[in-house]
Amino acid sequence: MGNVKDYKIATLGSHTALQILKGARDEGFETICICEKGSTRPYESYGVADQIIEVDSFADYFDIEQTLIDQNAIVIPHGSFVAYLGPQNVKKIKAMHYGTKGILEWESDRTKEKKWLLKAGITLPRLFKSPEDIDRPVIIKFHGAKGGKGYFLANTPEEFYQRYEEYKDFPGHEKFAIQEYIVGVPVYSHYFYSRLTGELEVMGFDKRYESNADSVGRIAAKDQVDVGIHTTYTIAGNVPLVLRESLLPLIFKMGEDVVRTSRDLEGANGGLYGPFCLEGIIDPELNYYVFEISARIVAGTNPYINGSPYAWLRYNEPMSTGRRIARDIKMAIETDKMEAILG
* Region for 69 from its dihedrals, namely left if φ exceeds 0, alpha if ψ lies in -120 to 50, beta otherwise: alpha
Nearer to ligand AMP among residue 10 and residue 332 (C-beta): 10
Nearest to 32 by CA among 86, 95, 91: 95
Least distance CB 331 / ligand AMP (angstroms) = 28
Task: State the CB neighbour count (10 A cutoff) for residue 52.
Answer: 15
3-state SS, residue 194:
strand
Nearer to ligand AMP among residue 194 and residue 275 (C-beta): 275
Element (H, E) at 41: helix 41-45
Q: Which residue is closest to ligand AMP by CB?
A: 147
In this structure, what are the phi and psi dihedrals at residue 138, rounded to the nearest 5 degrees? -130, 160
Least distance CB 340 / ligand AMP (angstroms) = 27
Nearer to ligand AMP among residue 237 and residue 318 (C-beta): 237
Alpha-carbon span 223 to 25, nearest angstrom? 50
Distance between terminal CA atoms of the chain?
21
DSSP state, 112? Answer: H
At position 185, the amino acid (one-letter code) is V
> In angstroms, how far is CA 218 from the centroid of its own chain?
28
Alpha-carbon span 40 to 33, nearest angstrom? 9
Least distance CB 140 / ligand AMP (angstroms) = 10
Alpha-carbon span 340 to 330, nearest angstrom? 12
Nearer to ligand AMP among residue 60 and residue 279 (C-beta): 279
Task: State the CB neighbour count (10 A cutoff) for residue 217.
Answer: 10
Nearer to ligand AMP among residue 7 and residue 276 (C-beta): 276
Residues near ligand AMP (CB under 6 A): 14-15, 79-80, 83, 125, 139, 146-148, 151, 179, 181-182, 186, 208, 210, 213, 233, 235, 237-238, 279, 281, 291-292, 299-300
Nearer to ligand AMP among residue 34 and residue 265 (C-beta): 34
Nearer to ligand AMP among residue 77 and residue 186 (C-beta): 186
